[in-house]
Amino acid sequence: MEGGITTYYPLRLRKTEFTLSYIPEAPAMIQNRYKSPFRIAREMEPVEGVRVFLLPVFDNRPYIDPSIIPEKQLLEINRYQRTHDRDKRLIARSFLYHYLKTVHRITQFDTQPGAYKKPFLPEAAHVHFSISYSADFILIGISTTLPLGVDIEYINDEIPVTEIAPTIMSTGELDHFRQLPEGSAEQYRFFYSVFSKKEAIIKAFGTGLYYDILSINTLSDNTFLYQGQSYVCTPIFTEERSCCINLCTQQFAKPDS
């Protein structure tokens, strides 16, 4: 339930002190299209100009490459106490930077915090990226044209969603949530769907939790406005029934023909 490369904007589910106990079976690996050693479980281009990758942590530990990660970022990662948490971040940055180096010929990976602390690459400001972690998987979105946010959430029926729902849901969402059978699979899927969509949206906005998530109603539409710009939220990897995965991208108006 962590989002962003420095985890500066996860929604505060972690206050409930739980751990994700269900880790689904890793899907079969697909061929890596840009000829790197990384093992990719899913890859797609859900929106033109946006590539999204789902990486299993276990299969990619051998491909961690600290040499491509700036020292400052390595020091930040080493502050995590759990090896698993460190490995997820090392894999994510190793993959992201190798991809950018191979595909886009980018070689400088020092990041700086932008507005609301969202990290960006000052030497490649046209590159937009978003990273999300959940259980044993890493989700990475990359674009050179569109600001974006991605999020992955595994559905865990041990979480007290009825207690958490009022802290993340709009009035309309909460009404719908309470109409579903309490504790049912349908109620849990709706909760995580809303949760994942809002994570992706506020990442795409670049605001994190500085934005009032209660003002977002994911039931009304899949298009959201922020500072005069339209953003579209799209569920992706929908065949993964054990989790909710979403992409949100800025929508540019097409020029009149």
Judged against a pLDDT cut of 80, whether residue 141 lies above it is answered with yes
Q: Which pLDDT score is estimated for 185?
A: 94
The residues with which 151 forms a beta bridge, in sequence order, are 246
**pTM of the predicted structure, to 2 decimals:** 0.85
Note whether residue 256 is domain-resident. Answer: no
Note whether residue 117 is domain-resident. Answer: yes
Note whether residue 257 is domain-resident. Answer: no
Residues contacting residue 252 through CB under 8 Å, at least 6 positions apart: 145, 146
Residue 79 φ then ψ, to 5°: -75, -20
Q: Which pLDDT score is estimated for 98?
A: 95
pLDDT band at residue 17, thresholds of 50, 70 and 90? Answer: very low
Q: What is the pLDDT of residues 168-180, one digit of tens each?
A: 999 999 999 999 9
Judged against a pLDDT cut of 80, whether residue 16 lies above it is answered with no
Q: Which pLDDT score is estimated for 221?
A: 82
Which residue's entry shows tokens 């946006």? 50
Q: Which pLDDT score is estimated for 210?
A: 78
Note whether residue 54 is domain-resident. Answer: yes
| CATH number assigned to the domain comprising residue 183 | 3.90.470.20
Q: What is the pLDDT of residues 80-90, one digit of tens each?
A: 999 999 999 99
Q: Which pLDDT score is estimated for 192?
A: 96
Q: Which pLDDT score is estimated for 220?
A: 85
Q: What is the pLDDT of residues 50-72, one digit of tens each?
A: 999 999 999 999 999 999 999 99
Residues 36, 148 contacting (CB under 8 angstroms): no
Whole-number Å distance between alpha carbons of 18 and 14: 7
pLDDT band at residue 238, thresholds of 50, 70 and 90? Answer: confident
Between CA 248 and CA 221, with CA 172 as vertex, the angle to 5 degrees is: 35
Which alpha helices (DSSP H) does the chain contain, by range? 57-60, 71-77, 83-104, 161-168, 171-179, 185-205
Q: Which pLDDT score is estimated for 153?
A: 94
Q: What is the mean pLDDT of the chain?
A: 85
pLDDT band at residue 161, thresholds of 50, 70 and 90? Answer: very high
Judged against a pLDDT cut of 60, whether residue 234 lies above it is answered with yes
Instruction: Using alpha carbons, list the distances in angstroms from residue 241 to 4, 89, 184, 235.
Output: 23, 25, 15, 12
Say how many domains are in the chain.
1
Q: Which domain holds residue 157?
A: 2-251
Q: Which pLDDT score is estimated for 4?
A: 34
pLDDT band at residue 30, thresholds of 50, 70 and 90? Answer: low
Which alpha helices (DSSP H) does 105-241 contain, by range? 161-168, 171-179, 185-205
pLDDT band at residue 254, thresholds of 50, 70 and 90? Answer: low
Q: Which pLDDT score is estimated for 34?
A: 64
Query: Which residue would you say has higher pLDDT here, 138 or 211?
Result: 138
Note whether residue 128 is domain-resident. Answer: yes
Residue 75 φ then ψ, to 5°: -65, -40
Span 141-153, mean pLDDT? 95
Q: Which pLDDT score is estimated for 111?
A: 94
Note whether residue 237 is domain-resident. Answer: yes
